Homo-oligomer: A and B are copies of this chain.
């Protein structure tokens, strides 16, 4: 594993709060794909839960370089961009999914999404860029 780039203290609150992050991956056709995601800060890395059926999962398998874009919901010009290396592991017991859901005040029962074929994606920060 590479040594994570530190998340700047000035913008760490954007990563700690249970907001959404815009995750951008790169597709086989060369276009970026961007989606809103739930996530969890886990020490120096950011983790999220995906299912194997999603295009972003396939993109990350083929091209494990992604960017996470955080913004302050009260000030759209205060932003944090984290370019990251992605690593994927299975989550057969949904351990990580449960942790992510708990961060958003949810559990497996209240969560409406699919529970099959869940994986953990760990994003190790490679570069951080702040604005505002």
Contacts and interface: CB of A to CB of B under 8 A. Distances in A.
Contact of A22 (B22, B66, B83): B22
Interface residues of A, number: 30
A76 B30 CA distance: 26
A30 B34 CA distance: 15
Q: Which of A24, A25, A30, A126 has the most CB of B within 10 A?
A: A24
A104 B104 CA distance: 34
Contact of A83 (B31, B65, B66, B84): B31
Interface in A55-108: 63, 65-67, 69, 71, 73, 76-77, 79, 81, 83-84
Please tell me how many copies of the chain the complex holds: 2
B34 A24 contact: yes
B76 A76 contact: no
Given A73-B76, A76-B73, A24 B32 contact: yes
Q: Which of A31, A69, A81, A84 has the most CB of B within 10 A?
A: A31
Interface in A1-36: 19-20, 22, 24-26, 29-36
